[in-house]
Chains A and B, each alone.
Chain A
Amino acid sequence: MQSSSAAPAHHAPGVPPVPTVAAHFASLDVQQHAARLGMWLFLATEILLFAGLFVCYANYRFMFPEGFAAASRHLNLVLGTVNTLVLITSSFTAAMAVHYAKEAKNRQVVVMFILTILMALGFLVIKYFEYSHKIHVGQLPGPYFTDTEPSLQVPGVPMYFTIYFLSTGLHGFHVIIGMIVLTWVGLKANRNEFSARNYTAVELGSMYWHLVDLVWIFLFPMLYLI
């Protein structure tokens, strides 16, 4: 526990470097508490960012209930459901990474993050197929909507696709950011940096990923299950 010699190059449980405490923090506990609180404050702003789109959705759905229902039936429910299950499972592996980081099992942290990133990639690939189909048939936002399908000639349908692309696009952007964050923390785990005394980066990185999951949990019924 006390051995604070040079960080080992290979996996050796129990010898990760002891984290440094910044001068303005009373102790490591306080420092970690502050880091966690800061992350929650950031996530609160993220929640409010997405809430703007939720408000947009709620109001236009109130105005155009039939248009929204008609447009929603043209989303691929199977792909949407598979994506939800993929994202929830990736959230589970991200949570497991925190569990392993606390036990200083850095190798398993790396494995869990690789699984998480692979599932994130799978999510984006499925999203790509959904998008390319929408672009192909012309189910696009606002004035770019060109689909001539009779069941879609209802007021509000182009607005639905505006909100669809805005909200899934912003969410997809967060998926990409999350993948970058998890790669970065995964590289730290690969250098054997985490232990019961220092797993803040793993915890906060996973929290970001859980937020991405949390947002999708609400987007999925809103867009696919009307």
Chain B
Amino acid sequence: MSAMANESSKEAQNMQEEHHGGATKYAIIWAALMVLTVVTVLTGRMHLPNWGLALALVIASVKGALVALYFMHLADHQGANRIVFITSMVFVVLMLLFTLFDIGTRFRPTLAASGTPIAWPVETGQSMPYNTTGTNEAPERRSH
């Protein structure tokens, strides 16, 4: 209980100190977010073949981090607030990864017939890349 009270009074102190620089700081973050938006639009329009999506996600994550840390004051607040936010992010990543692992390691006949995943499952070494024939048809693959 006392730890909680201490922490929040520390926060209150931080908030007081932040008083002077608050407006300037928000303006800087706003400018950074605007610039990053323009950057992501420009790089997005180039249709970069391999790293386009990764780059867009990195830029979005940086923008998201700026919003969470400074607009939502996570940089000033310690403890439980940060743990709640980070935990939710961890679970978002877990949910994404596990469903993608699942669908990414399936064999061709278990995927949608009209789907055109590029080359998968590559990691298992149990099948060849799809669409080697240039058609969208699923290879004739019966068990045994």
Contact = CB atoms under 8 A, between A and B. Distances in A.
Q: Do A and B bind each other?
A: yes
Contacts, number: 160
A88 B37 contact: yes
A55 B96 contact: yes
Contacts of A155: 112, 114-116, 136
Interface in A208-224: 210-211, 213-214, 217-218, 220-221, 224
A207 B112 CA distance: 40
A59 B84 contact: no
Contacts of B115: 63-64, 155-156
A200 to B, nearest CB: 12
Interface string A169-198: 000000000000000000000000000100
A40 B70 CA distance: 15
B95 to A, nearest CB: 5
Contacts of B77: 36
Main SS class of interface, B: helix
Nearest to A32: B8
Contacts of A32: 8, 12
A116 interface: no
Main SS class of interface, A: helix
A85 B37 contact: yes
A26 interface: yes
Contact of A218 (B4, B60, B70): B60
B60 A221 contact: yes
A226 B56 CA distance: 9
A225 B26 contact: no
B59 to A, nearest CB: 7
A47 B84 CA distance: 11
A89 to B, nearest CB: 7
Contacts of A63: 103, 111-112, 115-117
Nearest to B91: A48
A44 B87 contact: yes
A59 B103 contact: yes
Nearest to A27: B5
Contacts of A84: 37
23 contacts: A29-B11, A30-B5, A32-B8, A33-B8, A36-B77, A48-B88, A55-B99, A59-B103, A62-B103, A64-B116, A81-B41, A85-B37, A92-B33, A95-B71, A96-B26, A98-B73, A99-B23, A155-B114, A156-B114, A210-B71, A218-B60, A224-B44, A225-B40
Given A156-B115, A221-B59, 13 more contacts: A32-B8, A33-B11, A48-B92, A51-B91, A62-B100, A67-B116, A81-B37, A91-B30, A96-B26, A99-B23, A210-B67, A220-B40, A221-B57
